[in-house]
Amino acid sequence: MVSKMKALEKPIVYIVDSDHQLLCSLSKLLEQQDVIVEVFTSAEDFFNTKLRSRAACLIVEVNLPNMDGIELLEQINNLGVRLPTIVLSSGSDVSKAVRAMQAEAIDFIEKPFIENTLIKKVMGVINQTQIIF
Amino acid sequence: MQNNKTEHMSSSPMVHVVDDDEAVLDSVGMLLDSIGLINTCYKDAQEFLDAYSETEFDKHNGCILLDIRMPFISGIECQHRLEQMGCRMPIIFVTEHGDVPTAVEAMKNGAAEFIQKPFREQLLIDAIQKALQTNMKNQKRLEIVNQTQGKLASLTNRENQILNAIVTGKANKVIAIELHLSQRTIEIHRAHVMDKMGVNSLAELVKVVIDASPTD
């Protein structure tokens, strides 16, 4: 019971990427940081799940089937939800980077990246959001 | 230095184009002329920064087109310096040498757009129009904030103290005890605060103060 209560208070990080290997390794690393990770393989998949208000961070790949990662971010913004988002990109496309930043992404990171750097960044984001609420 | 008096809203916006490539300056200048946008061209960042600091033009109403790779001072460095100088005009980067990290850095530092050469002319025009509109809105908001800050500055120390207490939701009675003053004195100060701030209700006062606070 106690452990269940604790689990409820842990920050949630959403990851949306069609790359299963990436989902797997990032989740493992984040879970070590005492974070709950929820993964999705497409934007539709993500929107079909009820968003939880204590979500602290979203990591999303630009290149997703159908709706891309930036459209996903723009939709979240349109909902009036402020979900700090880090955008990952498997190709280096400047115009996509600009669009992502205009959609108020916190960062835009090209793949391949150093996993620990990303984890540090995510933890930084989480700590900031926790202070606000 | 002299024509500070002409207030910024009255003049038409100015587009400042900074690029070390003369051909680019020519063609962008012509493009802007063709749609009736007043523009000034600068051959490098230093020339623009000098012009900026010498107050030769309206520093509020306009936008800046910046090349990234230029001799001496890069576009990104120029963006930093402008920020330090308190420049709030939107910056549109226009560059041949766009890579993702540079674009991300520029955007994090508050650039409005980052356009790669060669570009469609309409794309640049759209970006400029959008930047000018955003700037106009920001200017209006800033003007209101400045007015409020002017009013805040006119408060005495005591009035300021009481304003802060009121805004945090304290009752006159509580403030009186905390400041070792009579409740009547607090009431008088409070009336002065409302008067100086030009508001009629507590709700209005709180709103005005919140709108003027620096956090966006």
Which secondary structure element, helix H or strand E, spans residue A46, and what is its range?
helix A43-47
Mutate to test the interface with B, among A89, A94, A108, A114 (most CBs of B within 10 A): A94
ipTM: 0.84
Predicted TM-score (pTM) above 0.80: no
Q: Does A107 touch chain B (CB under 8 A)?
A: yes
Q: Which residues of chain B have pLDDT under 70?
A: 1-10, 214-216
Instruction: For residue B98, give the nearest of A89, A94, A101 by CB distance.
Output: A94
Q: Does A79 touch chain B (CB under 8 A)?
A: no
**Residues A92, B99: C-beta atoms closer than 8 Å:** yes
User: Cα separation of B123 and B53, whole Å?
Assistant: 30
CATH number of the domain bearing residue A35: 3.40.50.2300
**Residues A89, B100: C-beta atoms closer than 8 Å:** yes
User: Cα separation of B96 and B17, whole Å?
Assistant: 15
The structural domains of chain B, ordered by start, are 3-138 (3.40.50.2300), 154-212 (1.10.10.10)
Q: Which residues constitute the domain of residue A111?
A: 13-128
**Alpha-carbon distance B20 to nearest alpha carbon in chain A (angstroms):** 22
Instruction: For residue A108, give the nearest of B98, B100, B116 by CB distance.
Output: B100
The greatest distance separating any two alpha carbons of chain A, rounded to the nearest whole angstrom, comes to 49
Whether A133 is in a domain gets the answer no
The greatest distance separating any two alpha carbons of chain B, rounded to the nearest whole angstrom, comes to 73
pLDDT tens for A86-109 read 999 998 899 999 999 999 999 999
Instruction: Check pLDDT > 60 for residue A133.
Output: no
Whether A1 is in a domain gets the answer no
Whether A61 is in a domain gets the answer yes
Quote the number of domains for chain A: 1
Instruction: Check pLDDT > 70 for residue A11.
Output: yes
**Residues A97, B107: C-beta atoms closer than 8 Å:** yes
